[in-house]
Amino acid sequence: MSPSLTLLGLLALTSVSSSYGKIYENASDIPSLDSYGYVIVGGGLTGSVVASRLTENSNTTVLVLEAGVSHQGVEIIEVPGLQSFTGPGTIYNWNYTSVPQVHLLNNTIPAPRGHVLGGSSSINGMWYTRGSSADYDRWANVTGDQGWLWDELQSYFKKSESLVAPVDGHNTTGQYDPALHGTQGPLQVTVGGFSQSLDQLVMGRLDQDFPFIEDYDNGEPIGFGWTQTTIGNGSRSSAATAYLDDYLNRTNLDVAVNSLAIRIFASNGSRIDTVTFTANGLPINVTARVEVLLAAGVFNTPHILLNSGIGDASELSAMNIPVVHNLPSVGKNLTEQPAISSLWNTSNPVSAAQAEVDYENAIAQWNSNRTGRMVLAISNTVGFARMNVSSPEVQALVEEYGELAPGPASPHFELLPTNAFDAETNFENAQFIFDSVNLVPYSRGSVTLNSANPLGPPLIDYNFYSAPQDILVMRQAVLGALSFISTPDWQDFLTAPASSLLAAVVDEYPNVSNATMDAYIRATTSISFHAVGSCSMSPAGADWGVVDPDFHVKGVAGLRVIDTSIMPFAPAGHSQAAAYVIAERAADIIKGST
Ligand SMILES: Cc1cc2nc3c(=O)[nH]c(=O)nc-3n(C[C@H](O)[C@H](O)[C@H](O)COP(=O)(O)OP(=O)(O)OC[C@H]3O[C@@H](n4cnc5c(N)ncnc54)[C@H](O)[C@@H]3O)c2cc1C
Ligand SMILES: *[C@@H]1O[C@H](CO)[C@@H](O)[C@H](O)[C@H]1NC(C)=O
Ligand SMILES: *[C@@H]1O[C@H](CO)[C@@H](O)[C@H](O)[C@H]1NC(C)=O
Ligand SMILES: *[C@@H]1O[C@H](CO)[C@@H](O)[C@H](O)[C@H]1NC(C)=O
Ligand SMILES: *[C@@H]1O[C@H](CO)[C@@H](O)[C@H](O)[C@H]1NC(C)=O
Ligand SMILES: *[C@@H]1O[C@H](CO)[C@@H](O)[C@H](O)[C@H]1NC(C)=O
Ligand SMILES: *[C@@H]1O[C@H](CO)[C@@H](O)[C@H](O)[C@H]1NC(C)=O
Ligand SMILES: *[C@@H]1O[C@H](CO)[C@@H](O)[C@H](O)[C@H]1NC(C)=O
Ligand SMILES: *[C@@H]1O[C@H](CO)[C@@H](O)[C@H](O)[C@H]1NC(C)=O
Ligand SMILES: *[C@@H]1O[C@H](CO)[C@@H](O)[C@H](O)[C@H]1NC(C)=O
Ligand SMILES: *[C@@H]1O[C@H](CO)[C@@H](O)[C@H](O)[C@H]1NC(C)=O
Ligand SMILES: *[C@@H]1O[C@H](CO)[C@@H](O)[C@H](O)[C@H]1NC(C)=O
Ligand SMILES: *[C@@H]1O[C@H](CO)[C@@H](O)[C@H](O)[C@H]1NC(C)=O
């Protein structure tokens, strides 16, 4: 949605007081170009975590190169309720768009990523969801590394996290299980600090078909529960606020913003050691003494590798890029969870004028004491579900494709109930959005170079619904949402579908024809923002994959990838909790191996 610049002008926010350490705005000020132990490409979620953990050892020196700007003092990043102002079309976003999606009527769909310290954790929706235990056990299985088992990772989940009280001080007993959460970690996580009438409508709907779950981070997330978000004391907790801000005074940690990495290479022999980046339009080489760590994210890490001649040899040769190492999986197996936002009109109309007043009041309240609507990200409740096996369609689907989730207690789809935002005011205005997300996508896409401009935006192809089971699961996810709202309370609240395609589906419900359902799905499918897999882990020695389970790029010395591109499968949830765990583990492995 497009931010309203007039309203942004109303944001007379108090300036954030903090003793900021050194962030080099001008790369000319970086003190040395050949003395750092590690050069980390990308100061996003994983890059910030690893930089912070590695520099706990005062002998380890780290330079972080971040293409975007600093997050510090940026109100639309700090205030959770202003999250949608950081979308495409701002300096905080890479503004990428997919190639036309052949199974989605050739629609192009967004591919946003954070272009700022903290990366996508500075612009994301702040949902904190770990997925299921079977997701991580499958990683262990696929990579042959038992360190990825859910049980083994529990210490890292806790190490990264501090579960903190919500700012409204409400009684959280029964809203999460404290035993599952960390209390000493840098990343602040909380349940919603502002209640909405929607919360009770959701909780009042729960029954045996849609059960309550006390804490969906228990490894078996089936049910509706209270949303946990990366928010503390009313403000966004990102990798940059949690892992960088308090440690920038370390003399062994340097962070350079406005520094766009272009390629990596071996300056002497075959060990990768140098990063070429541009700052102020000029190229600069920086050499790492120990290793180069790529953390540029799911789209840009493969982009940098391909530009550096590490990728499929024939594809590189076709683009006249000298082949440094033939690694065909680079940029392949891109995985994203398709999502559909079903929009409804409600019987609770709020005029645009009233929404604007509410919005201004909420901003004023946040300014005065960090409470009120602005401390919420998107929604206080979220549900995870499995397909209904009593349905003949689901039985046929399972018969043909087998169990699509990695385990019997792992969900197939997610349902997200949300008050709709008004496009002008970015504030609740009488509509309701129900997101249906396919959590078990089998379609695999790609990130490739654009031959017209290899240094420009990569070609991003989610390739949604190329695997036929994915749209069949999406049908069930949409039906699940319709079933949820089929009760009298919900029918009183919702007056009409807000689009004719959804209205056609609703008219036929519950016996929705495949044609009507698929017309809706193909026209409205978008992303859930959880792309992974473009530089997947695989077992050491495997003939596919990009990195070994210890993050080393296969067949290339001196180089690791430490970001979400290494996930071989998407966890059944939002990806950031898994990203924090990957980064915490990467830091430990890197510390142990030097
Ligand atoms: C809009 C949006 C909403 C989301 N909502 C949620 C949510 O609610 N919950 C959840 O769990 N997950 C969410 N996610 C996903 C989650 O934020 C990401 O999975 C996670 O941040 C990925 O971490 P990363 O380190 O791999 O990449 P990023 O965090 O994206 O970091 C990559 C960093 O590298 C930098 N970079 C890239 N290329 C270069 C280059 N060439 N040179 C230098 N620097 C470079 C980028 O600017 C960025 O700072 C969302 C993502 C987005 C984009
Ligand atoms: C960066 O610093 C150099 C050296 O001090 C200076 O010449 C240059 O003008 C600065 N660039 C910007 C954009 O400030
Ligand atoms: C740092 O290096 C010095 C000299 O090699 C060594 O004595 C010291 O123990 C190291 N410190 C840490 C924290 O590893
Ligand atoms: C995204 O678009 C905005 C608006 O055009 C622009 O200012 C910003 O620089 C773009 N981001 C990138 C990384 O190019
Ligand atoms: C999508 O684009 C392809 C290639 O241009 C074309 O063959 C196809 O007919 C298009 N499909 C639709 C639904 O427009
Ligand atoms: C993965 O799981 C399958 C089936 O349970 C098993 O046969 C296989 O040995 C496992 N692989 C690894 C690497 O653990
Ligand atoms: C919080 O709620 C629980 C369960 O309803 C109750 O047992 C407990 O006493 C409450 N705590 C406080 C501080 O009110
Ligand atoms: C939380 O925010 C309030 C109001 O800004 C501030 O007074 C308080 O010190 C903060 N607490 C923490 C733990 O940061
Ligand atoms: C950095 O600041 C923190 C908190 O103010 C302090 O505890 C720490 O000692 C400082 N570290 C250095 C290297 O100055
Ligand atoms: C970076 O190193 C490469 C390879 O040695 C060299 O060709 C290039 O000129 C260097 N660039 C700069 C800006 O020093
Ligand atoms: C994609 O991942 C699968 C494992 O999930 C693997 O078998 C296959 O080789 C990968 N494809 C590429 C091109 O890397
Ligand atoms: C915060 O301010 C609002 C009014 O702006 C007030 O209603 C509320 O009680 C205050 N909350 C706290 C915890 O001070
Ligand atoms: C709808 O599609 C499913 C799966 O492809 C199929 O089993 C079912 O027979 C179709 N229904 C109708 C009415 O065509």
349-379: pLDDT as tens digits: 788 888 889 999 999 999 999 999 999 999 9
Which ligand is closest to the CA of 102, given by its number? 5
What is the C-alpha separation between 149 and 587, in angstroms, rounded? 17
**Catalytically annotated residues:** 530, 574
Given the CA of residue 58, which atom of ligand 3 is nearest to it? Answer: 13
**The Cα angle at residue 118 between residues 113 and 119, in degrees rounded to 5:** 15
CB 447 within 8 A of CB 458: yes
Binding site feature residues for FAD: 116
CA–centroid distance, 51 to ligand 9, in Å, is 16
- The string of pLDDT tens digits covering residues 73-113 is 999 999 999 998 999 999 999 999 999 999 999 999 999 99
Q: What's the confidence (pLDDT) of residue 424?
A: 67
Ligand 1 surroundings by CB, under 6 angstroms = 41-47, 65-68, 112-115, 119-121, 123-127, 260-261, 295-298, 300, 304, 529-530, 563-564, 574-577, 579
Query: In b/e form, how buried is each residue of 27-41, taking b as 16+ CB within 10 angstroms?
Result: beebeeeeebbbbbb
CA–centroid distance, 554 to ligand 5, in Å, is 37
Chain position carrying tokens 């209205």: 503
- The string of pLDDT tens digits covering residues 511-568 is 999 999 999 999 999 999 999 999 999 999 999 999 999 999 999 999 999 999 999 9
Cβ of 365 less than 6 Å from ligand 12: yes
**The Cα angle at residue 39 between residues 36 and 40, in degrees rounded to 5:** 145
Q: How far is CA 538 from CA 137, 335, 550, 571, in A?
A: 14, 15, 10, 16
For 492-548, the DSSP string reads: HHEEEESSHHHHHHHHHTTS--HHHHHHHHHHH-EE-S--B-TT-B--TT-SS-SB-
CA–centroid distance, 380 to ligand 12, in Å, is 20
Residue whose CA lies nearest to ligand 5 atom number 10:
106
Given the CA of residue 57, which atom of ligand 3 is nearest to it? Answer: 13
CA–centroid distance, 136 to ligand 6, in Å, is 13
Residue whose CA lies nearest to ligand 5 atom number 1:
106
Given the CA of residue 144, which atom of ligand 6 is nearest to it? Answer: 13
The best mutation among 55, 60, 245, 249 to test binding of ligand 9, ranked by most ligand atoms within 8 Å of the C-beta, falls on 249
Q: What's the confidence (pLDDT) of residue 421?
A: 78
Name all domains of the chain by residue range, CATH numbers in brackets: 3-74+240-334+533-592 (3.50.50.60)
- The string of pLDDT tens digits covering residues 215-259 is 999 999 999 999 999 999 999 999 999 999 999 999 999 999 999
Which ligand is closest to the CA of 165, given by its number? 8
Q: How far is CA 391 from CA 212, 218, 344, 417, 574, in A?
A: 22, 28, 26, 24, 27
Cβ of 28 less than 6 Å from ligand 2: yes
CA–centroid distance, 82 to ligand 8, in Å, is 19
Q: What's the confidence (pLDDT) of residue 423?
A: 65
pLDDT above 90: residue 496: yes
Overall residue count recorded for the chain in this entry: 594
What's the whole-number average pLDDT of the chain? 94
Which ligand is closest to the CA of 194, given by its number? 12
pLDDT band at 12 (very low <50, low <70, confident <90, very high): very low
